[in-house]
Amino acid sequence: MKLGIRRNTKAPTPPKAPSPSEKPRSEEEQSKLNAVMIGRLDGFLDELAEGHRKAMDQVVTWLTGYGDLDREVNRSVEALSPLLQKWSIEVCFLLRMKEPRRFNELKEGLSGIGSRTLSQRLKELEAQGIVQRTVFPEVPVRVEYRLTPKGLRMGDLFLPIIAHLRITGWREGGGGAKQG
């Protein structure tokens, strides 16, 4: 089963992404690209949800089979706790979009985050095995951050959720992102 495009629908080829030396896309070009990508993502998400629903129903049955639903809810929230901290999702998302990144690149990409908060989040995510910190013995010392295989998998699992929310926002006239 091929993922990405509905079987009976042939999606047009999306416009080529401009290189850094080219001018940005026009509003019309961006609108066409949005429509193409949303159609492709929508089909992919439908197939993904349908294909995984049965397995997820089994997981729910397994988790609720212990008879202590409160305990299982608490354990699930505990498992999510590294991501529930302010800025954690943003750090992971930024690393998922482009890695490796240095501390100041992360700080510049996360408007409003303080150095102390970013440092704390990176340490917490590293302790959870989500982010890898690599120190290069140079003068001055160079430190890079990237997602671990666990972090990459987590990012790959979250991207369909993000895509679903963006598509919903786009359809509702918000362009897929909060305006503000």
pTM: 0.65
Each residue of 1-41: pLDDT tens digit?
333 433 344 444 444 555 555 677 888 888 888 888 888 88
pLDDT band at residue 91 under the 50/70/90 scheme: very high
Rounded Cα distance, 39 and 29, in Å:
16
